[in-house]
Amino acid sequence: MKELQELAAKLLRDQNVQVVIGYEDGPAGVRPAFITDANDAARLIFDPRCVHNLATYLKPQRKHIAKLGKIAIVVKGCDARAVAGLIREQQITRENVIVIAVRCGGVLEKAPAKAAKKVELTEENVSVRCAGCEAREPKLYDYIVGELPTEPPVSSQRAGEIAQLEKMSTAERRKFWDEQFSRCIRCDACREVCPMCFCLQCVALRAQPQWIDSSPTPAANRAWQTMRMLHQAGRCVGCLECERACPKEIPLGLLTRYVAGVVDQRFGYKPCDDPSVPAPMGEIKTDDEEEFIR
Amino acid sequence: MNIYQPHLMRIAEITDETEDTRTLKLEFKDPAVAESFKFSAGQFGEYSVFGEGESTFCIASSPTRKGYIECSFKATGKVTQALRRLDTGDTIGFRGPYGNHFPIEKMKGNSVVFIAGGIGLAPVRCAIWNVLDMRDQFKDVTIVYGARSVGDLVYKRELEEWSKRTDLKICLTVDPGGETPEWKGEVARVPTAVEKTVAYAENTYAVICGPPIMIKFTLPVMDKLGFPAEHIYTTLENRMKCGLGKCGRCNIGATYVCKDGPVFTAAEMRAMPQEY
Amino acid sequence: MTNEFLSHASLSSLIAELVATGTRVIAPVQTEDSPDRLEYKPVCSLADAALAAGQPRLSLKELFLPSTEVLLSYRQTKEGVEIREVPTQARPQVILGALPCDAAALEIVDKVMSWDSKDELWLGRREATTIVSILCPVEDSNCFCTAVGVGPDSVRGSDVFLTPVEGGYLAEACTLKGQSLLEGRTADHADPEAIAEAEKAQSAARKKVQENAPAIPAGFSAWLTENFGHPVWNTMALRCHGCGACASVCPTCHCFDIVDEHENATEGVRRRNWDSCQTAKFTLHSSGHNPRPSQSERFRQRIEHKFSVYPRRFGEMLCTGCGRCSRICPGGMNLVEIVGGLISLSASNSGGAGQ
Sign, CA dihedral C194-C196-C198-C204, equals negative
pLDDT of amino acid A116 = 65
Scanning chain A, the segments in alpha helix (DSSP H) are 2-13, 63-66, 77-88, 161-167, 170-181, 189-193, 218-232, 241-245, 252-267
Task: Assess whether C198 and C293 both reside in one domain.
Answer: no
pLDDT of amino acid C353 = 41
Q: Is A108 helix (H, G, I), strand (E, B) or coil?
A: strand
The answer to whether B259 contacts C116, with C-beta atoms less than 8 Å apart, is yes
pLDDT of amino acid C2 = 66
Burial class (CB in 10 A: 0-12, 13-18, 19+), C184: exposed
Q: Which of A291, A285, A282 is nearest to A91 (CA)?
A: A282
Task: Assess whether B82 and B111 both reside in one domain.
Answer: no
pLDDT of amino acid A290 = 81
Q: How far apart are CA C286 and CA B72, in angstroms?
A: 16
pLDDT of amino acid A81 = 96
Q: Which domain holds residue C259?
A: 220-348
CB B177 within 8 A of CB B160: no
Judge whether C312 lies within some domain: yes
Task: Assess whether B128 and B213 both reside in one domain.
Answer: yes
Judge whether C67 lies within some domain: no
Task: Assess whether B207 and B120 both reside in one domain.
Answer: yes
pLDDT of amino acid B1 = 67
Q: Is A26 on the interface with C (CB under 8 A)?
A: yes
What DSSP assignment string belongs to A180-204? HHTT-----HHHHH-TT---SS-GG
Summarised one tens digit per residue, pLDDT across range C5-50 is 999 999 999 999 999 999 999 999 998 777 778 999 999 999 999 9
CA C183 to chain centre: 28
Q: How far apart are CA B225 and CA B199, in angstroms?
A: 7
Task: Assess whether C154 and C302 both reside in one domain.
Answer: no
CATH code, B139? 3.40.50.80
Query: Which of B237, B245, B251 has its CB closest to that of C115?
Result: B245
pLDDT of amino acid C175 = 95
CB C102 within 8 A of CB C320: yes
Summarised one tens digit per residue, pLDDT across range C115-125 is 999 999 999 99
Q: How far apart are CA B146 and CA B153, in angstroms?
A: 7
**Residues on A contacting B at a C-beta cutoff of 8 Å:** 207-208, 210
Task: Assess whether B119 and B153 both reside in one domain.
Answer: yes
Q: Could you tell me which residues come within 8 angstroms of residue C68 by beta carbon, excluding any fewer than 6 positions away?
A: A215, A216, A217, C271, C272, C273, C274
Judge whether C75 lies within some domain: no
CB C270 within 8 A of CB A215: no
Residue B166 CB-half CA count within 13 A: 0
Burial class (CB in 10 A: 0-12, 13-18, 19+), A291: exposed
pLDDT of amino acid A115 = 59
Q: Please state, rounded to an integer, the average pLDDT across all residues of chain A.
A: 92
Judge whether B2 lies within some domain: no
Among the three residues C190, C210, C230, which one is the final residue of a domain in this structure? C210
Burial annotation A123-137 (CB, 10 A radius, 16+ → b, else e): eebbbbbbeebebbb
Report CA-CA distances (Å) from A192 to A199, B97, C242.
10, 37, 7
Question: Which amino acid is it at C263?
Answer: E
Task: Assess whether B121 and B206 both reside in one domain.
Answer: yes
Residue C72: its chain B contacts at CB < 8 A? 2, 4-5
Within 10 angstroms of residue A168's Cβ, the number of other Cβ atoms is 13
CB C100 within 8 A of CB C162: no
Residue A207: its chain B contacts at CB < 8 A? 53, 77-78
Task: Assess whether C190 and C117 both reside in one domain.
Answer: yes
Measure in Å the smallest separation between the Cα of A282 and chain B Cα atoms.
31
Q: Which domain holds residue B19?
A: 7-98
* C31, closest residue in chain A (CA to CA): A249
Dihedral angle of Cα B60, B63, B67, B71, to the nearest 10 degrees: 10
Query: Which of C260, C284, C297 has its CB closest to that of B239?
Result: C284
Residue A208: its chain B contacts at CB < 8 A? 77-78, 81
Task: Assess whether C152 and C269 both reside in one domain.
Answer: no
Task: Assess whether B56 and B155 both reside in one domain.
Answer: no
Q: How far apart are CA C181 and CA C159, in angstroms?
A: 9
Query: Which of B3, B249, B256 has its CB closest to that of C117?
Result: B3
CB C97 within 8 A of CB C288: no
Residues, chain A, total? 294
Q: What is the mean pLDDT of residues A233-244?
A: 94
Sign, CA dihedral A199-A202-A207-A210, equals positive
pLDDT of amino acid C354 = 39
Summarised one tens digit per residue, pLDDT across range C296-329 is 999 999 999 999 999 999 999 999 999 999 999 9
Judge whether B50 lies within some domain: yes
Q: How far apart are CA C151 and CA C147, in angstroms?
A: 8
Q: What is the mean pLDDT of residues A136-140?
A: 93
Evaluate if residue C73 carries a pLDDT over 90: yes
Q: Is C88 on the interface with B (CB under 8 A)?
A: yes
Q: Please count the structural domains in chain B.
A: 2
Task: Assess whether C240 and C264 both reside in one domain.
Answer: yes
pLDDT of amino acid C18 = 95
Among the three residues C160, C189, C210, which one is the final residue of a domain in this structure? C210
pLDDT of amino acid C352 = 45
Q: How many CB pairs under 8 A join A and B?
A: 7
Which residues 94-123 of C are in CB contact (within 8 Å) with B?
A: 112-113, 115-121
Scanning chain B, the segments in alpha helix (DSSP H) are 31-36, 78-84, 104-107, 121-132, 156-164, 190-197, 212-225, 257-260, 266-271
Tell me the ipTM for this assembly.
Answer: 0.91
Within 10 angstroms of residue A44's Cβ, the number of other Cβ atoms is 24
Instruction: Return phi, psi of residue B82, to 5°.
Output: -65, -35
pLDDT of amino acid B180 = 92
Evaluate if residue A43 carries a pLDDT over 90: yes
Q: Which residue has the higher pLDDT, A281 or A35?
A: A35
CA B112 to chain centre: 15
Lowest mean pLDDT among A150-159, B87-96, C106-115, C164-173: A150-159
CB C330 within 8 A of CB A189: yes
The answer to whether A187 contacts C142, with C-beta atoms less than 8 Å apart, is no
Measure in Å the smallest separation between the Cα of C166 and chain B Cα atoms.
44
A292 torsion bin: left (phi>0), alpha (psi -120 to 50), beta (else): alpha
Task: Assess whether C171 and C203 both reside in one domain.
Answer: yes
Q: How far apart are CA B3 and CA B32, in angstroms?
A: 18
What DSSP assignment string belongs to B41-77? TT-EEEEEETTTEEEEEE--S-TTS-SEEEEEEE--S
Query: Which of C58, C243, C332 has its CB closest to that of A31?
Result: C332
pLDDT of amino acid B234 = 94
Within 10 angstroms of residue A103's Cβ, the number of other Cβ atoms is 16
Q: Could you tell me which residues come within 8 angstroms of residue C208 by beta carbon, excluding any fewer than 6 positions away?
A: C138, C152
Task: Assess whether B77 and B138 both reside in one domain.
Answer: no
pLDDT means per 10 residues, chain B with 276 residues, are: 92 94 96 94 96 95 93 93 96 96 96 94 94 96 95 93 95 94 92 93 93 89 94 91 94 94 93 88
Within 10 angstroms of residue B68's Cβ, the number of other Cβ atoms is 17
Q: How far apart are CA C147 and CA C80, in angstroms?
A: 55
Q: Is C226 on the interface with B (CB under 8 A)?
A: no
Question: Which amino acid is it at A76?
Answer: K
Residue A68: its chain C contacts at CB < 8 A? 238
Query: pLDDT class for A112, splitting at 50, 70, 90?
Result: confident
Q: How far apart are CA B234 and CA B266, in angstroms?
A: 7
Query: pLDDT class for A138, splitting at 50, 70, 90?
Result: very high
Task: Assess whether C124 and C26 both reside in one domain.
Answer: yes
Evaluate if residue A226 carries a pLDDT over 90: yes
Q: How far apart are CA C131 and CA C40, in angstroms?
A: 13
Burial annotation C276-311 (CB, 10 A radius, 16+ → b, else e): bbbbbebbbebeeebbbebbbbbbbbbbbbbbbbbb
Q: Is A158 on the interface with C (CB under 8 A)?
A: no
Residue A210: its chain B contacts at CB < 8 A? 78
Residue A62: its chain C contacts at CB < 8 A? 295
pLDDT of amino acid C355 = 34
Evaluate if residue C142 carries a pLDDT over 60: yes
Counting residues of chain A whose pLDDT is more than 90, the rounded percentage is 76
pLDDT of amino acid C349 = 66
Task: Assess whether C101 and C156 both reside in one domain.
Answer: yes
The answer to whether B246 contacts C285, with C-beta atoms less than 8 Å apart, is no
Summarised one tens digit per residue, pLDDT across range A56-109 is 999 999 999 999 999 999 999 999 999 999 999 999 999 999 999 999 999 999
The answer to whether A210 contacts B77, with C-beta atoms less than 8 Å apart, is no
The answer to whether A189 contacts C241, with C-beta atoms less than 8 Å apart, is yes
Q: How far apart are CA B250 and CA B248, in angstroms?
A: 6
Q: How far apart are CA B5 and CA C73, in angstroms?
A: 10
Task: Assess whether C93 and C234 both reside in one domain.
Answer: no
Q: How far apart are CA B220 and CA B88, in angstroms?
A: 43
Q: Please state, rounded to an integer, the average pLDDT across all residues of chain C.
A: 93
Query: pLDDT class for C253, splitting at 50, 70, 90?
Result: very high
Domain boundaries, chain A: 2-145, 161-267
pLDDT of amino acid C35 = 73
Strand partners, A97: A71
Q: Could you tell me which residues come within 8 angstroms of residue C340 by beta carbon, excluding any fewer than 6 positions away?
A: C213, C214
The answer to whether A207 contacts B81, with C-beta atoms less than 8 Å apart, is no
Q: Is B148 helix (H, G, I), strand (E, B) or coil?
A: coil
Judge whether C45 lies within some domain: yes
Scanning chain C, the segments in alpha helix (DSSP H) are 8-20, 61-64, 100-113, 120-127, 176-182, 192-210, 220-226, 232-236, 245-249, 295-304, 310-314, 324-328, 335-348
Task: Assess whether B156 and B93 both reside in one domain.
Answer: no
Counting residues of chain C whose pLDDT is more than 70, the rounded percentage is 97
**Residues on B contacting C at a C-beta cutoff of 8 Å:** 1-6, 8, 10, 29, 48-54, 76-77, 80, 90-91, 93, 237-239, 241-242, 244-249, 251-254, 256, 259, 273-276
Task: Assess whether C240 and C294 both reside in one domain.
Answer: yes
Evaluate if residue A15 carries a pLDDT over 90: no
Which residues 114-153 of A are in CB contact (within 8 Å) with C?
A: 114
User: CA triplet C121, C123, C129: central angle to 5 degrees?
Assistant: 105
Scanning C186-328, the segments in alpha helix (DSSP H) are 192-210, 220-226, 232-236, 245-249, 295-304, 310-314, 324-328
Task: Assess whether C293 and C323 both reside in one domain.
Answer: yes
* C248, closest residue in chain A (CA to CA): A187
Task: Assess whether C256 and C307 both reside in one domain.
Answer: yes
Task: Assess whether B38 and B79 both reside in one domain.
Answer: yes
Dihedral angle of Cα B9, B10, B12, B18, to the nearest 10 degrees: 70
